[in-house]
Each structure stands twice: as C-alpha cells, then as structure tokens.
Amino acid sequence: MSAERASLLALKRLITQAEMVYSDRAVPAAQRERGAELFTASLALVGDLLKQDHSSAAAELGAKGGSQTAKRGSEYFRQLAAKRKIRAGGRPKKPQ
C-alpha cells in the first residue's frame, strides 16, 4: 500500500470518527444538518480519491502527447529551426 493511499484511508477513518462524535452531541438542528452535509461530502471525496488510479491519469495525458506535433508536420519544425539559426537561438518573433 502506498503512503498516499494509507494517508487517505487514515483521513477517511478520522472523518468517520469525527462524524460519530459530532452526531452524539447536542447541536442545534441547523448546525447538525450542515455538519451532516459536510461529513457526507468529505467522505464521498475521500472515497472517490481512493477509487482513482493515479497511474492511469498520467497514461491518459501521455497518450495525447504527439497529436499536436503531428498536426503541424515536420516542415513547421524545419522552419522554426532555420529561424533560430538566423537569430542565434531563442524563439522567433511572432509575425505581425
């Protein structure tokens, strides 16, 4: 189990314990309802974070990596390289 996952599980347990303590107290109705909403939302968020596979998110982004480069084509990058040689490095100025 990774340290991140262990931290999330510990956070979930702490929220659950806080919810139990809070529900046992004599709290005005409006505050009790708001507290219940917050606990429900926080538990749902932690549960969602635990379900996510963080390595697959990186893989999804990586799969999109070459699409813009492929659209521009090799001629575009040849022109950029030529402009850089003329100006001795750096980005070429934008045409106006």
What integer best gives the mean pLDDT of the chain? Answer: 77
Residue 21 and residue 31: Cα distance in Å, rounded? 14
Instruction: Give the pLDDT of residue 90.
Output: 65
Summarize pLDDT for 24-54 with one digit per residue, the tens: 777 787 787 888 888 888 888 888 877 876 5
Instruction: Give the pLDDT of residue 56.
Output: 62
Instruction: Give the pLDDT of residue 72.
Output: 83
Residue 25 and residue 93: Cα distance in Å, rounded? 67
Query: Per-domain residue ranges for the chain?
Result: 3-52
Query: In the chain, pLDDT over 90 holds for what percent of residues?
Result: 0
- What are the structure tokens assigned to 64, written together? 């999109």
pTM of the model: 0.45
